[in-house]
Amino acid sequence: MKTKKIFLILWPVLALILEALPTGAVLCFAVSPSEKIRKTFSYFSLTVFGNANFGPLITAVLSCILLILAVLLLVTQRRGFALALFDCSIAAFIISLFPILYGMEFYSLTGAGISFLIAAEIVTSMLFLKQKSE
């Protein structure tokens, strides 16, 4: 039980660390019809959001919400926070995959790590919910 509590906090913290790195969100700029420049930014960068790649910033905001919900869940032990954490984790995971809609060149290894950490949060919160219902 104690390890699940640690992981409820650990996954969002690690995701936020990866999101703060300048290698997460990707933009491709066409300098000519045959040449593209690939630049990476932090998930919190408004440059990415301003270039119509909405997934990274929304994922970063949802990761902050995940961390807040996880702390509230551990402090209060209320089932409502566990359900909210689970639902928000699913939304964050789906939105973290949005850059793939533009093409694989818009998705980075850091982005894949963030998606993996959010998926781990889904599993951990699901296990926490299962234990709460028993």
Per-residue pLDDT of the chain (134 residues; tens, 9 = 90+): 577 789 999 999 999 999 999 999 999 998 888 898 999 999 999 999 999 899 999 999 999 999 999 999 999 989 899 999 999 999 999 999 999 998 999 999 999 999 999 999 999 999 988 887 76
Based on its alpha-carbon atoms, the radius of gyration of the chain, rounded to whole angstroms, reads 16
- Bridge partners of 36, per DSSP, are 30
Q: Using a cut of 0.85, tell me whether the model's pTM lies above it.
A: yes
| β-bridge partners, 41 | 25
Compute φ and ψ for 87, nearest 5 degrees.
-65, -40
